Amino acid sequence: MTFVPPVHLPAIVLMGVSGAGKSVVGNALADVSGRVFIDGDDLHPAANKEKMRAGIPLTDADREPWLRIIGERLAVGDGVIVACSALRRRYRDLLRSYAPDTFFAHLDPQPETLEQRLAVRVHEYMPADLLGSQLATLEPLQPDEFGAVFRSDGSVDATVADIRAALASDLEEPPAVR
């Protein structure tokens, strides 16, 4: 097996709604790949965290500075893995404007799985009742976007293996015009 240093690999954005498994999958993927993992939640400005803590969904104006911070980090070019909801196409387009080769891994568990996870999850500022607004906002990946959808209902290891396999097959192909 040939080892490709992370600097030659695209950045990965683990996207999806709250409870999809972005942080746990991101940490596990970083562990097995030797990449850096950053939880995008840690990059939210304090005002965004306060709004979410109060149960108020963020607006596009609230999200833009946060997405720009994430985009700047993706642009470093070290193959970083970032957990970021990236729910709308325009958010992903903004991130791609900083790092065009970013791979978007949409973690998409069944609704029952989301409900079970959020029922037992304690989050610093993201209440479970904001899930509905996230689901309403979610725009699936389009065929022209570099990425794939992954069911994240099973084990973390299985999801990580699926993402790695998808990336490996994409990296074996000649680069497509995107």
- Per the prediction, the chain carries an average pLDDT of 85
Within 8 A by CB and 6+ apart from 118, the residues are 18, 19, 128, 131
Nearest to 33 by CA among 63, 62, 9, 61: 9
174 has a pLDDT exceeding 50: no
pTM: 0.83
- Choice between 175 and 32, residue whose per-residue pLDDT is larger: 32
- Cα 129 to chain centroid, rounded: 20
Across the strands, what pairs with 150? Answer: 107
- Kindly report, residue by residue over 50-92, the tens digit of the pLDDT: 888 888 878 899 999 999 999 999 999 999 999 998 989 999 9
The pLDDT score that the predictor gives to residue 19 is 84
